[in-house]
Structure formats: C-alpha cells, structure tokens
A and B are shown apart, each in its own frame.
Chain A
Amino acid sequence: MKILETKEKKKILEQLNKQYGISDIPFELIKFGEEKIRIFSGSIEKKELSILDKELRIENIGLYFAKQEVDGIRLTFDGIQIFKNQITKNILELNKEQADDWLKGNEIQTDAERGFKILRYNNEFIGCGKSTGIKIANYMPKERRVK
C-alpha cells in the first residue's frame, strides 16, 4: 500500500481532468500494486494509516476507482459512480440495445474515436471502456453483469 504524495496525486488529477474533466479528488489516493489506484475518504491521518499498514494485514482500503494503463487512466464501474457529477469529457451515449449488451458483459460495436470512453445510457453512467475505433472491449466485472 502506498499513500500518494501531493505531487503524484496532482499528476493523476491532471490526467483525469484531461481525459474525463474531473477537477477535484477530495480523497486520499492509495496505490495497491503498480496500476490500481484506490480512493480513501476515511478521517484518519496519513501517519496513522502508515502505522496501521505496518501492524495489520490490510487487504483493502477505500474503493478501487481507476487503473493506470499505458495509454491513460481507465475508471472502474464504481469509480465512475463516485465522480459522476464531474465527468464531462469522452462520454459516449449508447442506445438501449448497446446498453443492454454492455451490462451483459458484451463488447460494443462502434466507430467512436480511439481511447477511453465513459458510457452513458438514459442519463446514467454504466461503465468505462476503451474504443479501438471499431469496438469497445467490456471491463464489466463478471459478478456485476446482468444474467
């Protein structure tokens, strides 16, 4: 577990702003491994958190909200819900058929420009995927898909 310093947090926020329009992260950012970024809104101090990390077997903290990939940051399904009021860029509107497909875990055929897209249907954000210009691969966790 690594609690990100202000400088690292700022860098991530700049990237999130560029990709999605997110302008404020009122939480601590914590990295688990190289790629997974978690947000923690708990009231305990950083110093105290580090002590707990040394003394306890911490399996998780806060919410897994984003993954740093080579070509940008991909938001998780639950990360999107946290920042839904701030997301203004790279939104791809889906029709009902596409939204149903996405929630079932299927990829979506689309000619949207390449890059990460936040998918929206009926004013509701339902996921984040990466467009290849032909399709969007589905990252919906298996246990969350509509059966």
Chain B
Amino acid sequence: MNYEPKPLFMQRMKLLLKDEEDVKNFFEVSKTKPKKSFRVNTLRISPNELISRLKKYNWNLKQIENHPEIIQVRSELEPGELGKTKEHILGYYYIQEITSMMPILALDPKANETLLDLCASPGSKTTQAAAKMNNQGTIIANDVSIGRITILSSNLEKCGITNTIVTLHDGLELCNRLKRLDYKFGKILVDAPCSGEGNIRLSPRTFLEWSEGMLERFGKKQKKLASSALELLKVNGEMVYSTCTHAPEENEEVVQHLLDNYDIEILPIKLPLITRPGILEWKGKTFDKSMSKAVRIYHHDNDMEGFFLCKIQKLSDKKKEKKL
C-alpha cells in the first residue's frame, strides 16, 4: 500500500531541511527502500573471514571505512535472502540498519564497563555493545514488554552474548528501583521509543499514524525516561540519547530539558556517515548552542534511515535550580 505524508509533516520537514532541493530529495528517497546491511558478530568471526565465506553468494559487499564489521549489501537481494544463510544461523552476522549502529559507535562501550540499555529490544544495540565489550563488563538490557523481551533474549543467544542481564520493567520503574539501590553506570544508552519519522522508508505506515500530538506525547515520555536514566549515570559517565525520528520535540527539546535540569555537557560525536548538526531553534524555542554537537542523520544523505543522537557527559550529581 502506498502511504502519503500528511501536509503538516511536509511543512515541518521544510523547516528542518536546507532548501527546496533538499526537501525534494528527502521525499523522493522516502519512497525507496534502503540497501540491506549487517554487522559482523566479532565475538564469533572476524570481518575478513566472514567476507571470504560469503563470497559464494556473489553479494556486492561494502565495508564502512574504519569499521570493517559494518557491511552494506549493494546487490539486490531476494526477500529474506540475508537471513537464510548458514552463516546467519551460526550467528556470524546480525542484520541491522547501519544508522541504528551509530548510537553504540558514539557511546563506545569498553570491556569491564557497566552499561544500561534502557529500551533494549530487539537487541541490535545490546549485541553490538556486548561485541565491543568482548563479552566482558556487564550490560543490563531492559524492555517493558514480555513479547519484546522474548525477541531480545533470542537475539542475545544467537549472537553468543554472555555478559548481559535482561530485565522486564517499565523504563521509569527500572530507574527508580536501581536508584533506590544506588546502582550507577559508566555508560547508558537511551534509545527511546519514538514516532519513527526516520524509519519511513521501511515503515511508510508511519505517515498514516503520524500526528503532531503524538510527537508531544512521545516528547513528554522521553524527557522523563532520559532524566531518570541520567540520574543513574556516574559522574564523568557518558550517556547517548537517540531516536529514529526527526521531530525536535523528541530530540533537541529532550536534550535541552536535560541541560536545564542537570550538570551535564554535550560531547562531540564522530560517525562514519554524513550527519548534520542539532538545530538551535524550533518554533520559537531556542536551544543551547552546544546542541550543534548533537547529530541529525537524514535518509537521503546516506541512502539509509534517519536518526538523531546526542552524547552527554555528566559533570556532577548536582541538579540545577528549576527555571521559573
């Protein structure tokens, strides 16, 4: 079925993008499907060894510069082809959209760190983090729905993840419980549930469900979730806040809320994709100038999906006085 964007969505994107040409490209690319991609599960095989094994399928594979484990498939594939191979069954690679790999590249978790992945299902980022940590340290991977936990657990098993504790809680409730225990993390990922504007190439149905009210509702939830998570971060610890949407209500406004209430700073992020800086103004609201270190990823810049990321460092446990 063909879904069309609502006029209000188009109007908002015009405000976010550079010029008419940019807007035209955005909507043209939104009608096409992104290239398939996967991540080599380095816990089980090296990128070179896997590429050599995959030669028999005659796929045109391109590794991302400086990240040999990230691979884009440039050939046209049959539906489900990538998931049918013996190498996939053996957990040698994980099918994942490249932009969705960016939060963990930004967070850069290390072996022996403790990481909280607050909204973890289906586990793409948890498995990527565990691989980067070489199954050392500890990850708490949480999700709110039992159905999604089942998918998360299955993906962790497939990838051979041994350093992760999977919990079933509403994100806010988990944060409250951990806060009572005074349990703190060196790294936190809040890949927040969102309106999904960045996923329209794969889920064009988003156009149908989209409304401005939905953005406000998500924004409120995201502020609470990100704030609760931030309270669990150690001083000097780092948190990545990310969404797969473009709406500033769910992105810059959430980060600004954190800047207004906590002693934090935004850190620069270097990613192997074309990115644009976070915006400094939206509908009369202005954001801190450091918001330009946040990262916007648009699908037409990279022929991938859209994303927003911001990396935050906690400077102290102090809370700022509420602004009147």
* Complex: A77 Cα to B183 Cα, angstroms: 34
Asked if residues A63 and B157 are in contact (CB atoms below 8 Å), the reply is: yes
Asked if residues B114 and A43 are in contact (CB atoms below 8 Å), the reply is: yes
> Which residues does chain A contribute within 8 Å of B168, judged by CB atoms?
57, 59
* Complex: A16 Cα to B136 Cα, angstroms: 23
Asked if residues B177 and A55 are in contact (CB atoms below 8 Å), the reply is: yes
CB distance from A105 to the nearest CB of B (A): 11
A contact face: mostly helix, strand, loop, or mixed: mixed
Asked if residues A41 and B169 are in contact (CB atoms below 8 Å), the reply is: no
Stretch at the interface among B84-92, B232-240, B245-253: B84-92
Q: Among residues 190 to 239 in chain B, which have CB atoms less than 8 Å away from a CB atom of chain A?
A: none
* Complex: A27 Cα to B163 Cα, angstroms: 10
* Complex: A88 Cα to B80 Cα, angstroms: 35
Asked if residues B162 and A62 are in contact (CB atoms below 8 Å), the reply is: yes
Indicate if A70 sits at the interface (CB-CB under 8 A): no
> Which residues does chain A contribute within 8 Å of B160, judged by CB atoms?
63, 78, 81-82
Indicate if B32 sits at the interface (CB-CB under 8 A): no
Asked if residues A147 and B153 are in contact (CB atoms below 8 Å), the reply is: no
* Complex: A52 Cα to B181 Cα, angstroms: 9
CB distance from B83 to the nearest CB of A (A): 9
> Which residues does chain A contribute within 8 Å of B178, judged by CB atoms?
56
Asked if residues A60 and B89 are in contact (CB atoms below 8 Å), the reply is: no
Determine the residue in chain B with the shortest Cβ distance to A84. Answer: B44
Asked if residues A58 and B166 are in contact (CB atoms below 8 Å), the reply is: yes
Asked if residues A59 and B166 are in contact (CB atoms below 8 Å), the reply is: yes
Asked if residues A40 and B163 are in contact (CB atoms below 8 Å), the reply is: yes
Indicate if B165 sits at the interface (CB-CB under 8 A): yes
Q: Among residues 112 to 134 in chain B, which have CB atoms less than 8 Å away from a CB atom of chain A?
A: 112, 114
* Complex: A128 Cα to B117 Cα, angstroms: 32
Indicate if A75 sits at the interface (CB-CB under 8 A): no
Asked if residues B136 and A41 are in contact (CB atoms below 8 Å), the reply is: yes
> Which residues does chain A contribute within 8 Å of B112, judged by CB atoms?
43
Shortest Cβ-Cβ A-B pairs, 9 listed: A42-B138, A60-B166, A41-B162, A42-B163, A63-B162, A59-B166, A57-B168, A62-B162, A41-B163
If A60-B164, A144-B158, A147-B80 are given as contacts, then 16 extra A-B residue pairs at C-beta distance below 8 Å, sorted by A number, are: A40-B162, A40-B165, A41-B163, A42-B162, A43-B112, A43-B163, A44-B138, A52-B181, A55-B180, A56-B174, A58-B165, A62-B163, A62-B164, A78-B91, A103-B89, A126-B90
14 inter-chain pairs at a CB distance below 8 angstroms, sorted by A residue, are A42-B137, A42-B164, A43-B163, A57-B167, A58-B165, A60-B156, A60-B164, A62-B163, A78-B158, A81-B90, A81-B160, A103-B86, A145-B89, A146-B89
